[in-house]
Structures are given as C-alpha cells and as structure tokens.
Amino acid sequence: MDDITLRAVDGVHVTTLIDNSSDVLLPDEGLVRRWGLSGSAGPLPIVPSGMAEGGRTIDFLRAEHGFSALVEVQDGGGVRRVLFDAGVSPDGLITNLDRLALPPDIIETIVFSHGHFDHVMGLEGLARRLGPRNLPILIHPDFWTRRRLVLPGGALELPTPSRAAIEGAGFAVVAERRPSFLLDGMLLVTGEVERTTAFETGMPPAHQAFKDGVWQPDPLVHDDQAILLHVRGKGLVVLTGCGHAGIVNIIRHAKRLTGIDRLHAVMGGFHLRSGPIIEHTVAALTEESPSVVVPAHCTSWLAQHALAAALPGGFRPNAVGSRFEL
C-alpha cells in the first residue's frame, strides 16, 4: 500500500474483554477506568445464588489465557467500534460482554491478530448470540494454518480455525496480506509485519506449521498483525494480540507505514517470556518514549516488572474490564 495517510481521530477507548488476569481491586488511574470494587467503569452485576443469604451474589469478569479488546474510535461526535481478537473459550467473550453491559451488536467489524486458538475461539459464543448477519472479519491469509507444539511428552496439535464454520455462521471473511484501512481510514491493520530487529527471533523450534504436506518449524507466525490509530495531537496507538512479530518490529513497521514518528500508546500481548530479549526490548521501548505502555496476555511477570521499572510514568497494568481512554 502506497501513500498511507492514517486519519487522526479525537480519541480511542480500548476495553479489555479477555486477558490472563482479573483484578477487581485495581483502582482508576488517570486515563484508565477499572471495572470492579475500586473502579468506576461499571457496576458489578448481581446474579442468583443458592449458597448466599437472600439468594444473590456478586458476579465478576472471567480471565483466561487469551486476548480480546473492544476498540471504540471517537471522531466528530460519533463512535465506531471494532472487536480485536476473541479469546480462547467458546463463552468467555460473550459472557464478559454481558457482564460489562456491552451489547455485541454494536460491533461493526472484527479483526484477528493471528490464527492461534487463544485469540479466536470466543467467536463461537458471539456467533450464537448474533446469528447470521454478514459481519466482516479481517484476517491474514495464513490465519487458517495448522500448527502444533512438539513437547517432551509428544506433539500437541493446536485447534485450527475452521473457515467453513466461520463463514457458515454468517461472517464475511476478508483475507489480506498487505495493510488495510477500516472505519473510513481511521484504523489501519498492519498486515504482515516486516522483521528487522536482530533480537526478535520469534517462536521456539517446538512451534511448527503444516505446510506443503509436512510439519516444519514456524518461528515467525507470518499472520501476526496489529492495529494502528492516530490520536490527534498525541500520536500513534499500537494494539497487538500476541506480538509474535516482535513488539519493536511492530512499532517500527507502524511508523514506517504511517510516517508518524510519535508513539502515544502500545498495548496488548508483547510475547516476552524470559532471556536477553527482555533487556533488548525494554531498551528499545524506552527509546520510543511512549506515554502509555500496557503489556498483556503473553507478557511474563519478568517482562512486566522490567517494563514497569524502565517506564514508570507510562506503565499501566492490565486486567479484564480495564478501559483505557486515550
């Protein structure tokens, strides 16, 4: 895509629908509104209980090993909404939407960061609730790739998204390898991310893909993509699902695509576990000086701690129900 101009918007709200942690005691913090006992993002739902006096108890959001976020783009008094990823369990996403009092029919487009099942399978519950309605789903062409992990106890084949099932449920699949605009040019999907750093080498050899009739190493997860927004007067917002392409690669790719050098916020899965990559990534992110840093999902405690120490002014912990008002 040539001559990319990403339209600036008045604001972006990102609400975490699925993540690895749920913390009802986190308080509001500046631009972050929390859902829970200490936050103001929304009331706690009351549900029936046979074990409580009066027959009622308080319900809480569910955390699971996966990621999903609702992106609300505000411009000119209007609001446009995109769902980014769907989490791992069939009912986790839809039940958390219910707990947050967010009706699923407000979603106008779905973007998947990649085809790993912990970002996709919550689509099932959403499909049951919505019914067939030709809702667009934007993916990379390699989204359907069969993958497995070769572990000491044997190979574990990962659940693979079914194109027949997804289209049969009434979704309109759009596969694109290159960058794609959504919402009349206000949101940009990166497409395949160029790998340029020496330290972001991808998945270990245990991660394999079935290609050309054989299982072979799949370190790069080529279908990994992010979404980009430009908040007027503040800079780029980068939202990732897992960040398999490398969070630094993604940020640099985003800046090359858009020509916007100022990074306002970087959020989502950074896929940082352990080893020297943490030090290199933290150093590179510190040079970018983002105002907001929200590592989620597949970012280890070690990496979270290092990011919090290096970027104390921008670091914000994530939890299900957190709403970041950028």
156 and 166 share one domain: yes
For residue 280, is it left (φ>0), alpha (ψ between -120 and 50) or beta?
Answer: alpha
Instruction: Give dist(CA 268, CA 245) in Å, integer.
Output: 13
169 and 50 share one domain: no
Residue 25: how many other CB atoms lie within 10 Å: 10
| CATH code for position 247 | 3.60.15.10
- Number of domains the chain contains: 2
Q: What is the tens place of the pLDDT at every residue in 205-236?
A: 999 999 999 999 999 999 999 999 999 999 99
Instruction: Give dist(CA 173, CA 187) in Å, integer.
Output: 18
pLDDT for 89 equals: 97
* Residue 118, domain member (yes or no): yes
85 and 116 share one domain: yes
What is the span of the domain harbouring residue 36? 23-60
Angle, alpha carbons 118-92-116 (nearest 5°): 10
195 and 218 share one domain: yes
Task: For the chain, give the number of residues.
Answer: 326
Name, in order, each residue with C-beta under 8 angstroms of 117's C-beta and a sequence gap of 6 or more: 88, 158, 159, 160, 161
pLDDT for 175 equals: 98
* Residue 286, domain member (yes or no): yes
50 and 68 share one domain: no
Query: Model confidence at 2, in pLDDT bands (50, 70, 90)?
Result: low
143 and 159 share one domain: yes
pLDDT for 45 equals: 87
97 and 51 share one domain: no
pLDDT for 274 equals: 93
DSSP notation for 124-136: HHHHHHH-S--EE
CA distances from 281 to 44, 136, 262 (A): 37, 34, 18
Q: Compute the average pLDDT of residues 89-98.
A: 97
* Residue 247, domain member (yes or no): yes
Top pLDDT among 297 and 4 is at 297
Q: Which residues pair with 216 in a beta bridge?
A: 209
Q: What is the tens place of the pLDDT at every residue in 111-154?
A: 999 999 999 999 999 999 999 999 999 999 999 999 999 999 99
185 and 44 share one domain: no
Q: Compute the average pLDDT of residues 11-25.
A: 96
pLDDT for 4 equals: 79
Is 6 within 8 Å of 188 (Cβ atoms)?
yes
* Residue 193, domain member (yes or no): yes
Q: State how beta strands 11-18 and 68-75 pair.
A: antiparallel
Instruction: Give dist(CA 32, CA 45) in Å, integer.
Output: 21
Query: Model confidence at 1, in pLDDT bands (50, 70, 90)?
Result: very low
95 and 28 share one domain: no
* Residue 1, domain member (yes or no): no
Instruction: Give dist(CA 113, CA 102) in Å, integer.
Output: 22
* Residue 2, domain member (yes or no): no
pLDDT tops 90 at residue 3: no
Q: State how beta strands 109-111 and 78-84 pair.
A: parallel
Q: What is the tens place of the pLDDT at every residue in 97-112?
A: 999 999 999 999 999 9
* Residue 173, domain member (yes or no): yes
Query: Model confidence at 165, in pLDDT bands (50, 70, 90)?
Result: very high
55 and 87 share one domain: no
Q: What is the tens place of the pLDDT at every residue in 22-75?
A: 999 999 999 999 999 999 998 888 999 999 999 999 999 999 999 999 999 999
Q: What is the tens place of the pLDDT at every residue in 287-322?
A: 999 999 999 999 999 999 999 999 999 999 999 999
313 and 208 share one domain: yes
Look up residue 34 and give its DSSP letter: -
* Residue 326, domain member (yes or no): no
Hey, what are 63's tokens? 């955390």
pLDDT for 91 equals: 97
SS3 215: strand
122 and 163 share one domain: yes
